[in-house]
Amino acid sequence: MKNIFLNIFIVVSIMIGFTSCKKEPLEPAKPQNTVNNPANVNPVGTNWELYSGRVFVANMVISSDVSYYDHFSSTKITSNLDIFTTSVLPIDNITQGITTWKFTSSNTFVLDGTTVYNYNVNTNGIFNVYGLENGSARNIEVLNSTADYMNVKIYESTGSVGTNDYNFYSVLTFVRAGFTGTPTLSTVPSGYAYNGVVGLPTSAVTLVGTKWVITKYQNAVGGTLFTFPNDTLDFISTTQYTINSSTPRNYNITNVIGSSMKSLSLYSLTTLGGDWSGQVQGTFMTDGVGVIEVGTFSDMFGVSADKTVWMNRIL
């Protein structure tokens, strides 16, 4: 009986203590050990080094138009989380093997070992890094994490190409500083097609060593006047081409974000009278023997009207 009265006294004392305590301001939410996924290991306190990154792009109208890109390659180690307009914030400029993150137990986020911001964690386990240079914030969702690596989703936004609008976000893979193994990358969502490296010229794969003839072009899109130059373009390297074996001039061909198209830019293209750029089908190298038909090319300086170009591969 004595023990029963003692226990009642202790419980009552605790209740009185709680009701009489002064109410304190709530602290920023602390991350749970599982961080949104029961299988995850808490990433707080670890020095994380950027291993790789992908960006996923979806057409906001055409549900089947979805693709993903790598941020890096063997020749490209820098990228930006905003693939449409390019962000100037340090957190959005990423460098493979150099960019580092650290979430400390005191709710600070350390970028590249020097720049410090604050963070909290919401009820869904998403880290919110705030107080960035322009007063904005970044949500960082830990998709999965172990003691050695983590995959995070960041920078979910929208962008446009011509009349098409897209949603996009990046998934970055970090490894623990000093880790020498191979991390597991996040699974690619169903239906997403791989479309190369974001912003990386693809000329070494597609055009170098080939020859094309500009068989004709239309002086104004939809017009009736045609010119038949039959000029031969010889792509002699990954960055240069010649016209009818003349002086080398520059070119590049890159992926078009959110599309299977390629952007082909031909500088000093005297056939058309200047610097011209156009979007061509990504399969132009494999369609038939290699053709570009009804390709719309624009004057890079906007001086001349667009032209429709026909080209055939001869080598």
pLDDT, tens digit, 9 for 90 and up, residues 226-278: 999 999 999 988 778 999 999 999 887 776 665 667 778 888 999 999 888 88
- The first and second tokens of residue 10, run together, are 């202790």
Confidence class for position 162, pLDDT limits 50, 70, 90: low
Question: Distance between CA atoms of 177 and 199, rounded to whole angstroms?
Answer: 28
Model confidence at 298, in pLDDT bands (50, 70, 90)?
A: confident
Q: Summarize the confidence of residues 89-111 as an average pLDDT.
A: 96
Alpha helices, H only, the chain:
2-20, 203-206
Question: With bands split at pLDDT 50, 70 and 90, how would you rate the model's confidence at 11?
Answer: very low
Q: Which two tokens stand for residue 35?
A: 């961080």
Rounded Cα distance between 236 and 85, Å, is: 32
| Annotated domain spans of the chain | 48-197, 203-313
What global pTM score does this model have?
Answer: 0.59
Q: How far apart are CA 236 and CA 245, in angstroms?
A: 10
pLDDT per residue as tens digits for the range 62-99: 898 899 999 998 888 989 898 887 788 899 999 999 99
Position 294 scores a pLDDT of 64
pLDDT digits (tens, 9 = 90+) for 173-198: 999 999 999 999 999 999 999 988 88
For the CA atoms of 215, 221, 226, 229, the dihedral, rounded to the nearest 10 degrees, stands at -40
Tell me the three state secondary structure of residue 70. Answer: strand
